[in-house]
Amino acid sequence: MNRNLSYYYDQKDFSSKHKGENIVNYPIQTMKVLTYCIDTLGIREGTETYRNIIDLASKVKIETANDDNNEWITVMRIIASGCTGKSNYSNDKAHIFSQSELCDFLTLAVKGINEKRMTEMVRGAIFNIYRDIIENYQNFNFSLKSNYPRIIVDVVSIINKGMNTEGKKIDVYHLNEYYKSQKTIEETLQKEKYELQESEQNLIASLSQITNIEMNKLRESLANMQISDVKRISNLCFNYNKLQRYSKLIGESEEGFRHEVEKELGRKLTDSQMHRAINSIRKVRIYIGNVLEGKFTPHDSHGINHVKHNLEYGFQIMGLIECRRRNPRH
As a whole number of Å, the CA-based R_g of the chain is: 29
CB 282 within 8 A of CB 250: yes
CB 210 within 8 A of CB 288: yes
pLDDT in tens, 292-318: 999 998 876 667 899 999 999 999 999
- What does the CA dihedral 225, 230, 231, 234 come to, rounded to 10 degrees? 170
Confidence band of 199 (pLDDT split at 50, 70, 90): confident
Length of the chain: 330
Torsion sign (Cα): 181, 184, 189, 195 = negative
DSSP assignment string, 170-213: --GGGHHHHHHHHHHHHHHHHHHHHHHHHHHHHHHHHHHHHH--
- pLDDT for position 328: 38
pLDDT in tens, 110-147: 998 988 999 999 999 999 999 999 999 999 988 899 99
What residues pair up with 18 in beta bridges, in sequence order?
21
Reference 152, options 207, 184, 108; nearest CA is 108
Q: How far is CA 70 from the centre of its chain?
A: 31
CB 133 within 8 A of CB 102: yes
Confidence band of 329 (pLDDT split at 50, 70, 90): very low
Q: Collect contacts of 271-276 with beta carbons under 8 A, ≥24 apart.
A: 273/317, 276/310, 276/313, 276/314, 276/317
AA letter at 140: F
How is residue 95 annotated by DSSP?
A: P
Classified as helix, coil or strand, 163 is strand
> What is the rounded distance in angstroms from the CA atom of residue 257 to the CA atom of residue 17?
76
AA letter at 108: L
pLDDT in tens, 66-81: 555 578 888 999 999 9
Q: Could you give the percent of the chain with pLDDT greater than 70?
A: 83
Work out the angle at residue 177's Cα, subtended by the Cα atoms of residues 173 and 181, and round it to the nearest 5 degrees. 145
Whole-prediction pTM = 0.57
Where do the structural domains in the chain lie, given as residue ranges? 3-193, 226-330
